[in-house]
């Protein structure tokens, strides 16, 4: 199990007082805090190695290139991708999904084709496909959720056809914590020769991922949701697909030969990393992954399950509270309190030092489907403890008292 008290020592920000109270940071699905090791990696890089990569033959440039490329290998191993150059560094999941929409999508989606998403999607895994379908006169189909907040797999099977060219679904909902059966989703889609993109922005932070076992075609990651700096993230794509896709952004660092009128491009991964990338952030993301590996993804998952169950136990004692969480969901607990707007809930929680999120969580269609105006959300990570959950329950009691 996790030694949470030891882990907490690595996160100086957790010593902060908010409105005179200890900080209970329960907004991890938005972004996680960064351990000392990651912050130190940023500082070390800028103080000792800072230089542009891939272009120089001087020592600093070579060091920076080595560090940057070693981050690629670390992430490859962490996700068990077959090849390091199947990992393309991006700023985040949003950029990774847009990359696929503008390259794979532009090339392979045609009039009359169909793309399937689910009702659980974050806007990042919805809007790029809406826009692609508009450009290409293709159709966007949606897997609905059932009352238990899981995807309706029977309807999914019916939506699949020879017209399906891409299935793009989340590995874990940032709103309900629902973890769809992505293994089955991928297997079924492949029977129709459809490609599958898994939005791993939430899932990868909490679960051991084995890309070779999963066999998806694309997978996306946001480093900042797994202890890494903002501006770090990645797209995984199968080598043969990435090779066939045209570049996304054009410019320096991704060319073989350029004349006034024509350009030929390099191979993977540089073809998709035009311009100066987020070098320091990517190198520090490597430290975040090493830290997660030291702790162990299985331990992280167990710890979050414990906190999630405890939060549901404490919150469901209050009759005014409605919880939106499926059985076996991930470490996200969304809720409403009868008659109180979620922004008011978040504001009072903040008075008690509890950082939670409120609103539509970049998932407007899902919020509409749940027939509510918005939601309050607690989300957990490795440094959270039972005290955080109890502090949240205390804030909950005060919120109910103030409004009733």
Q: Are strands 139-143 and 114-118 parallel, antiparallel or unpaired?
A: parallel
* Interface residue with ligand PLP, options 117, 133, 201, 348 (CB under 6 A): 201
Helix (H, G, I), strand (E, B) or coil at 182: helix
Instruction: Please say whether the beta carbons of 311 and 304 come within 8 A.
Output: no
CB 122 to ligand PLP: min, Å: 4
DSSP-derived secondary structure for 271-297: GG--SS--HHHHHHHHHHHHHHHHH-H
Q: Pick one of 64, 92, 336, 358: the residue that binds ligand PLP (CB under 6 A).
A: 92
**φ, ψ for residue 209, nearest 5 deg:** -110, 135
Q: Given its phi and psi angles, is residue 262 left (phi above 0), alpha (psi -120 to 50 degrees) or beta?
A: beta
Secondary structure tally for the chain: helices H, strands E: 16, 17
Q: Is 122 one of the binding residues for ligand PLP (CB under 6 A)?
A: yes
Q: Which stretch binds ligand PLP (CB under 6 A): 43-51, 118-126, 131-139, 319-327?
A: 118-126
Q: Does 93 bind ligand PLP (CB under 6 A)?
A: yes
Distance set, CA 29 to CA 19, 79, 332 (Å): 23, 20, 7
Using CB under 6 A, pick the residue from 65, 103, 125, 379 that binds ligand PLP: 125
| Segment near ligand PLP (CB under 6 A); pick from 74-82, 90-98, 294-302, 338-346 | 90-98
Preceding omega of 39 cis (within 30 degrees of 0): no
Nearer to ligand PLP, 54 or 325 (CB): 325
Closest distance to ligand PLP from the beta carbon of 49 (Å): 26
CB of 388 closer than 8 Å to CB of 4: no
Binding flag, residue 199, ligand PLP (CB under 6 A): yes
Closest to ligand PLP by CB, 228 vs 247, is 228
Q: Is 362 a catalytic residue?
A: yes
The answer to whether 400 contacts ligand PLP (rule: CB under 6 A) is no
In the bound state with ligand PLP, the residue whose beta carbon lies nearer, of 221 and 348, is 221
Q: Give whole-number Cα distances, 80 to 72, 199, 206, 210, 371, in Å.
A: 12, 17, 15, 5, 39
What does residue 164 show for φ and ψ, rounded to 5 degrees? -70, 120
Shortest distance, CB of residue 229 to ligand PLP, whole angstroms? Answer: 12
The interface with ligand PLP within residues 6-45 (CB under 6 A) comprises 29
Distance from C-alpha of 316 to C-alpha of 399, rounded to nearest angstrom: 15
From 174, 176, 278, 391, residue interacting with ligand PLP (rule: CB under 6 A): 174
Cα–Cα dist 87/73, whole Å: 8
> Which region among 3-11, 119-127, 133-141, 379-387 touches ligand PLP (by CB under 6 A)?
119-127
Question: Can you tell me which of 28, 49, 76, 94 binds ligand PLP, judged by CB under 6 A?
Answer: 94
User: What is the helix (H) or strand (E) element at residue 384, kind and residue range?
Assistant: none
Residue 282 found at the interface with ligand PLP (CB under 6 A): no
Binding-residue total with ligand PLP (CB under 6 A):
13
**List 170, 334, 379, 385, residue binding ligand PLP (CB under 6 A):** 170
Name every residue whose Cβ is closer than 8 Å to that of residue 286 and which is 6 or more positions away in sequence.
Answer: 41, 67, 70, 71, 74, 75
100 three-state secondary structure: helix
Find the part of the chain contacting ligand PLP (CB under 6 A) among 1-9, 198-206, 287-295, 374-382: 198-206
Q: Are 30 and 357 in contact (CB under 8 A)?
A: yes
Enclosing H/E stretch for 110: none
Point out which span in 17-25, 102-110, 117-125, 139-147 binds ligand PLP (CB under 6 A): 117-125
Per the residue annotation, which of 26, 289, 362, 367 is the catalytic one? 362
Binding stretches for ligand PLP (CB under 6 A):
29, 92-94, 122, 124-125, 170, 174, 199, 201-202, 222
Residues noted as catalytic: 362
């Amino acid at each position: 199990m996790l030694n949470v008290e030891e882990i907490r020592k690595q996160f100086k920000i957790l010593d902060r007082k908010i409105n005179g109270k200890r900080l209970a940071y329960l907004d991890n699905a938005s972004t996680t805090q960064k351990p000392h090791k990651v912050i130190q990696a940023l500082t070390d890089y800028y103080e000792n190695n800072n230089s542009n990569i891939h272009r120089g033959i001087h020592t600093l440039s070579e060091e920076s290139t080595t560090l940057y490329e070693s981050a690629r290998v670390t992430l490859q191993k962490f996700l068990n991708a077959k090849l390091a150059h199947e990992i393309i560094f991006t700023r985040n999941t949003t950029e990774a999904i847009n990359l696929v929409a503008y390259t794979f999508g532009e090339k392979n989606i045609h009039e009359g084709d169909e793309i399937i998403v689910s009702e659980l999607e974050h806007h990042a895994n919805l809007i790029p496909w809406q826009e692609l379908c508009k450009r290409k006169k293709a159709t966007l189909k949606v897997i609905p959720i059932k009352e238990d907040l899981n995807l309706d797999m029977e309807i999914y099977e019916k939506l699949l056809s020879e017209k399906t060219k891409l299935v793009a679904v989340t590995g874990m909902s940032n709103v309900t914590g629902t973890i769809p059966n992505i293994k089955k989703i991928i297997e079924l889609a492949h029977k129709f020769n459809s490609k599958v993109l898994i939005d791993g922005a939430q899932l990868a932070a909490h679960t051991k991922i084995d890309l070779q076992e999963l066999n998806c075609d694309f997978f996306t990651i946001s480093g900042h949701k797994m202890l890494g700096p903002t501006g770090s993230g990645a797209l995984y794509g199968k080598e043969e697909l990435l090779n066939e896709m045209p570049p996304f952004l054009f410019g320096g660092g991704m060319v073989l030969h350029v004349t006034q009128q024509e350009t030929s491009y390099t191979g993977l991964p540089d073809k998709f990393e035009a311009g100066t990338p987020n070098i320091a952030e990517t190198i520090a993301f490597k430290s975040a992954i090493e830290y997660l590996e030291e702790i162990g993804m299985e331990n992280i998952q167990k710890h979050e399950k414990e906190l999630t169950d405890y939060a549901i136990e404490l919150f469901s004692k209050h009759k005014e509270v409605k919880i939106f969480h499926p059985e076996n969901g991930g470490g996200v607990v969304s809720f409403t309190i009868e008659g109180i707007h979620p922004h008011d809930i978040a504001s009072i929680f903040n008075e008690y030092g509890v950082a939670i999120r409120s609103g539509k969580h970049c998932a407007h269609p899902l919020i509409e489907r749940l027939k509510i105006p918005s939601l309050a959300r607690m989300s957990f990570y490795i440094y959270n403890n039972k005290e955080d959950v109890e502090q949240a329950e205390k804030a909950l009691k005060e919120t109910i008292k103030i409004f009733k």
